Amino acid sequence: MAVVDSHSYAVLEQGQIKHVNLDIAVELAARLMRIRADYQLDHPVDGPLHLDSSGQAITKIYSRSHPIEWKMDAAEPIVGQRLRLMDLRGAQDFTIEFTTSPEASALQWLEPVQTAGGQHPFVYSQCQAIHARSLFPCQDSPGVRFTYEARVRVPNHLRAVMAAAPLGVEHEGDQDVYSFRMPQPIPAYLFAIAAGDLRFKEIGPRTGIYAEPSMLEAAAWEFEENERKIIEAEKLFGPYLWDRYDLLILPPSFPYGGMENPRLTFLTPTAVTGDRSTTTLISHELAHSWTGNLVTNATWDDFWLNEGWTSYAEARISEIVEGDEIARMTCIINHDLLKEDIQEYGWESPHTCLKDSLKGLNPDLMVSNVPYHKGRLFLTRLEQAVGRGAFDPFIHRYIATHQFGSLTTEGFVEFLRKELPAAVEKVDIETWIYQPGLPADCPVFTSKLYDDLMARIAAYAGGVLPAREEARNWHYVQKRMFLRLLPAKIPVEDCRKLEEIFGIEPGGNLRVVYEFYRLAIRSGYKEALPGIEEWVGRVGRHAFLTPLFRGMTETDWTRRLARPMFESVRPRHHPITVAAVEDVLKGAGV
Ligand code: BES
Ligand code: ZN
């Protein structure tokens, strides 16, 4: 059955892009990239070719010096513009010369003050889910893969990086030209580029860090264990096929915790905490090297195949790296967060099904715990049905069979039926995938650490708070869980004490600080306000900012503060984050 991707104009029967050669001049003052892109198709094409694009100013399109007639359709709000190459007349390659729009949704252009160093501008891309089309016209559907080469011209005080192999740099007056090659075929959403005042430090045989100079040493220490994680992940999934695993530490406005750009995970600076407590974030992005980057969801309706598998892997790696107790407590928290999201959508909502239908919707705004954690629970259920002795070899076969390919949910089920029939007999696959809410046989996790915390909560009801010396030494997962387990509203005096006990500061562990501020808002603890104001300015991750603002709209004393507070930090944030918060504020009528 032909795969239908409702978020792309590409018609795969017309021909598929296999390789792109890009010549990119980064013009920071004008906030645009001037690009010449040479495309190679899988076969000579007679007739039209439709590409996804968004906002580019095209100067010309030609094939071996013969002009190609083209037409750009009007922009649709979410999917952008269809670019029609009217007739390729048997050509197998063609060239497009264009500039990106200063509003290109894939790019964020930062002023020096928005960076760690404060001296130089910075630009970075975020293409997932459907922003690659605003960078260069392409078949922006996760089912299409291509390799690429690129030459990137930047002013010589900046360094360019890409999620590709760096080949070297040539100096040309006050400009530097960096060359890259991506030998492994990728879907467009994994195309990634950045430029800024960046340095590199090697931390292992195939791992290293790119960061602004002031962040480099701290980040190198924080992520020293990356090689060990690759080794663990290889045991679970098979060999790491992307050669290197480097990290790029971005400025604070990066809208995600991490983005699994192949060979070069893009990472929030909030992950550099000085205590290696954000290790699950790396486990997650690294795991995408297999689940997502090697085996890719065919459409955004199958997003759970990327994120559910990756969350499952993240939990398996966490078991080894952080131990069983912490891993299980994290599963309990994530189950809670999942239930909150299901509640928010409604238990009968189609968006609580693993296989979703996002036609006409912006996939960025549909990222919830459903694909991540309902997906993870489904895979855990399958694992429990047959035991790891059978499930682990299945994982290897799953990856090896589909590597460098894409898969629909239906393709996954077919593979499951064939390769793991015992699981299909025991688990109601149809309900798990196509029904809303949570199935009755949903795995439940227990943990001794969790029980200990429940005892603390009982003690709190009797008036006893944890001792400062002890609580400060808790794992951040314990702190986070304790704050979640407290009653929704507590006396202001207790908020004040907890702030001191846990040493809450806007720059502290994001998940702990977030839970505290949510509690402070619900409890009417007004002294937290300056901290919250600072926090919403320095944290760019929309997965935290959005629910915090939602919390503000749901509480009387903060409701009228939400809009002005957001407006004061809006210019600092990424358009993805701005859109997500805006969606929540408008939805709440503020
Ligand atoms: N690929 C996602 C980020 C993403 C999802 C970008 C959808 C665009 C659209 C990444 O792997 C991710 O899941 N990041 C999480 C962190 C993770 C530990 C749950 C995030 O940023 O919060
Ligand atoms: Zn992910």
Task: Flag whether pLDDT at 429 surpasses 80.
Answer: yes
pLDDT digits (tens, 9 = 90+) for 101-158: 999 999 999 999 999 999 999 999 999 999 999 999 999 999 999 999 999 999 999 9
Q: Which residue, judged by its Cα, is nearest atom 6 of ligand 1? A: 128
Cβ atoms 91, 63 nearer than 8 A: yes
The Cα 191–Cα 130 span in angstroms is 11
Nearest ligand 1 atom, CA 128: 8
The preferred substitution site among 127, 247, 259, 476 for testing ligand 1, maximizing ligand atoms within 8 Å of CB, is 259
Q: What is the pLDDT of residue 278?
A: 87
What's the mean per-residue pLDDT of the chain? 97
Picking from 192, 166, 189, 24, the residue whose alpha carbon sits closest to that of residue 108 is 192
How far does residue 284's CA lie from ligand 2's centre (Å)? 6
pLDDT digits (tens, 9 = 90+) for 201-251: 999 999 999 999 999 999 999 999 999 999 999 999 999 999 999 999 999
Grade residue 454 by pLDDT with cuts at 50, 70 and 90. very high
Strands (E), 80-134: 81-85, 91-99, 107-110, 122-125
Helix axes 476-485, 448-461, angle to 10 degrees: 40
Residues of the chain with pLDDT > 90: what percent? 98
Cβ atoms 501, 518 nearer than 8 A: no
Grade residue 2 by pLDDT with cuts at 50, 70 and 90. confident
How far does residue 310's CA lie from ligand 2's centre (Å)? 6
Which secondary structure element, helix H or strand E, spans residue 570, and what is its range? none
pLDDT digits (tens, 9 = 90+) for 67-103: 999 999 999 999 999 999 999 999 999 999 999 999 9
Which secondary structure element, helix H or strand E, spans residue 284, and what is its range? helix 279-287
pLDDT digits (tens, 9 = 90+) for 28-72: 999 999 999 999 999 999 999 999 999 999 999 999 999 999 999
Which residues approach ligand 1 with their CB closer than 6 A? Answer: 128-129, 256-260, 280-281, 284-285, 288, 307, 364, 367, 543
For every residue of 400-461, DSSP letters joined together read HHHTTEEE-HHHHHHHHHHH-HHHHHHS-HHHHHHSSS--TT------HHHHHHHHHHHHHH
Task: Flag whether pLDDT at 582 surpasses 70.
Answer: yes
Q: What is the pLDDT of residue 66?
A: 96
Q: What is the pLDDT of residue 580?
A: 94
Q: What is the pLDDT of residue 128?
A: 98
Q: Which ligand is nearest to the CA of 511?
A: 1
Q: What is the pLDDT of residue 281?
A: 96
Task: Flag whether pLDDT at 485 surpasses 90.
Answer: yes
The preferred substitution site among 127, 191, 256 for testing ligand 1, maximizing ligand atoms within 8 Å of CB, is 256
Q: What is the pLDDT of residue 216?
A: 98
How far does residue 3's CA lie from ligand 1's centre (Å)? 24
Nearest ligand 1 atom, CA 311: 19
Instruction: Just list the catalytic residues.
Output: 285, 372
How far does residue 570's CA lie from ligand 1's centre (Å)? 21
Q: What is the pLDDT of residue 1?
A: 63
